[in-house]
Amino acid sequence: MRHISVDTVIIGAGTAGMLAYKAAVENNADTIIIEQGPLGPTSINSGCVPSQLLHEMGRQYSANSTPMLTMTLYGKSPDKHLDRSDILNTVRNEKRAFLDQYIKEFYTIPEDCRIMGKAFFVDPYTVAIEGTDTTISARSFVIATGSKPYVPANLKKIGNKIITSDELFELKELPKSIAIFGTGSIGLELGEYLTRLNVKTAIFGMGEIGHLTDPKVASAALNAIRERVFIVPYGHFTTIEQNNDSVVIYYLDESEHECYLKVDCVLCATGRIPNLDGLQLETAGIQLDSMNCAYCNEKTLQTSVPHIFIAGDTTSTRNNLQKALYQGKIAGSNAATYPRITQTCDMPHQDITFTDPEITVTGLSFEEVKQRARCGHKFILGESSTANNTTSVIKGYKHGLVHVYFDRETQMLLGAEICAPYAQQMSQFIYSALFNRQTLDDLIGYNFYHPSAFEMLTEAFEDAKKSFKLFEPVI
């Protein structure tokens, strides 16, 4: 029996896990990181890296023009037509550079501080490595095992014709037609990119558009997406079945008309769930919710067992790569200094969906602002439209809205939901304003360049100011 005793154990060497390890070491904790494999975080294997590569290829290679890719495609001239296998081979080739960099970084960790294997808890202070006689005890732990795609039971029945974003980028070639289930960020982005790459694409949803909760912004986003992609956001599915080499989908559209669709395969983008299988969290005493997610204190990242922390996609909170990086640092630092908590998570939330136009939620969502109002904290909404913005009109964006939310009493900025060109840059501005706790009076003074899409922020701030004046006391 081989037993190791250290200060801190990090379980998972993805984005959050690697940052947690570095933070723990920087705080002078004797630390071991355990990775089950295969090496490589979700962001590189099937997340934002291959997705953004596909985005760039789709931008250059569209159904209405001759492909003019600037990437080097195995020695082929950029003006040569690409077949379907070239596209995914190129994505894999390009992402390999990112993966090689990650693997190189992982192996810079001293050999006695990294273990390849599957860890599981045997008690609150000890983990074992599956298939070995190794156990490791520590005074603190960070769980950063990432997430995996969620596939509903009614889609599993079509067998190998159902894929997720994990499998999409490993296909030999792009399918000729595909149905995407899910209208979150992944579904909308991949739907648009594949459409641009001449894949006949249909997106099916259950009402959600990106991460938007504001009905007016969501409606504008849906109208904008419909101009580029076939989408059924509120369809009711009657039957889905495999038929030889195809998948047949019967559904009722928004007008209750029965429709029929035949595609090569189905991509499930209905969300991701924490990858906690086999960790035996109940042995450690960690409480799970009804969705089998571990309880997490959003400020300290502690689970229900105070010396066990959790970070990244493994948490049950809304997450993305930016948040995983931040949480990894916080969890690693707090685990290293436990029982003293030295850092807390206080970053504003930010979601960006890289469609055209882009969709963003920054800070509190509309739904969260409404929940806050039910507790007595009323708010003011400011609005602007692409229809009144010179740059948006010139670029042909008929549908788009900016909604910003302010506390009615303090005029403090609370958040924003946006569907507009350059929305990701607007989101960064809103994020900075939230981080610096700016008020409407602080923001109303910004003069953005004319003409630019950013003038929509000015208009939204001015609209909010008008609403505030309605509630000013009369002297």
Q: Are residues 64 and 79 in the same domain?
A: yes
Residue 344 in domain = no
pLDDT digits (tens, 9 = 90+) for 114-154: 999 999 999 999 999 999 999 999 999 999 999 999 999 88
| Residue 188 assigned ligand-binding role | yes
Last residue of a domain, one of 253, 270, 287: 270
The CA distances from residue 407 to 99, 432, 464, in Å, are 44, 17, 11
Q: Are residues 230 and 141 in the same domain?
A: no
Last residue of a domain, one of 270, 294, 319: 270
Structure confidence at residue 69 (pLDDT): 40
| Residue 440 assigned ligand-binding role | no
Torsion over CA of 11, 13, 14 and 18, rounded to 10 degrees? 100
Angle at alpha carbon of residue 119, lines to 43 and 144, rounded to 5°: 35
CATH number at residue 64: 3.50.50.60
Contact 104, 93 (CB under 8 A): no
Q: Are residues 421 and 380 in the same domain?
A: yes
User: Quick check: 83 pLDDT over 90?
Assistant: no
| Residue 213 assigned ligand-binding role | no
Which of 3, 81, 236, 450 is the catalytic position?
Answer: 450
Beta-bridge mates of residue 135: 3, 128
| Residue 184 assigned ligand-binding role | yes
Residue 61 half-sphere exposure toward CB, CA atoms < 13 A: 25
Contact 272, 258 (CB under 8 A): no
- Tell me the pLDDT of the chain averaged across its residues: 90
Structure confidence at residue 317 (pLDDT): 53
Q: Are residues 140 and 179 in the same domain?
A: no
Which residues constitute the domain of residue 289?
Answer: 2-149+273-337
CATH number at residue 374: 3.30.390.30
Residue 342 in domain = no
Residue 345 in domain = no
% pLDDT > 90, the chain: 69
| Residue 131 assigned ligand-binding role | no
Beta-bridge mates of residue 227: none
The CA distances from residue 301 to 121, 129, 287, 305, 337, in Å, are 19, 24, 14, 11, 13
| Residue 187 assigned ligand-binding role | yes
| Residue 88 assigned ligand-binding role | no
Q: Are residues 118 and 189 in the same domain?
A: no
Q: Are residues 26 and 42 in the same domain?
A: yes
Structure confidence at residue 347 (pLDDT): 87
Q: Comparing C-alpha atoms, which of 314, 316, 309, 303 is closest to residue 330?
A: 309
Q: Are residues 262 and 289 in the same domain?
A: no
Residue 343 in domain = no
Residue 475 in domain = no
Token duo for residue 357: 């136009």
| Model confidence band, residue 46 (pLDDT cutoffs 50, 70, 90) | confident
Comparison of pLDDT for 67 and 149, the residue scoring more: 149
Q: Would the pTM count as exceeding 0.75?
A: yes
399 assigned to active site: no
Q: Are residues 315 and 203 in the same domain?
A: no
| Residue 186 assigned ligand-binding role | yes
Q: Are residues 158 and 145 in the same domain?
A: no
| Residue 285 assigned ligand-binding role | no
Helices (H), 227-255: none
What b/e sequence results for 276-306 when a residue is b if at least 16 CB atoms lie within 10 Å of its CB, and e otherwise? beebbbeebebebeeeebbebbeebbbbebe
Last residue of a domain, one of 316, 337, 358: 337
Tally of domains within the chain: 3
pLDDT digits (tens, 9 = 90+) for 244-303: 889 999 988 878 888 989 999 999 999 888 999 999 999 999 998 877 789 899 899 999
Phi, psi angle pair for 363, to nearest 5°: 75, -140
Q: How many residues does the chain have?
A: 475
Residue 31 in domain = yes
User: Quick check: 199 pLDDT over 60?
Assistant: yes
In this prediction, residues 188-211 reach a mean pLDDT of: 92
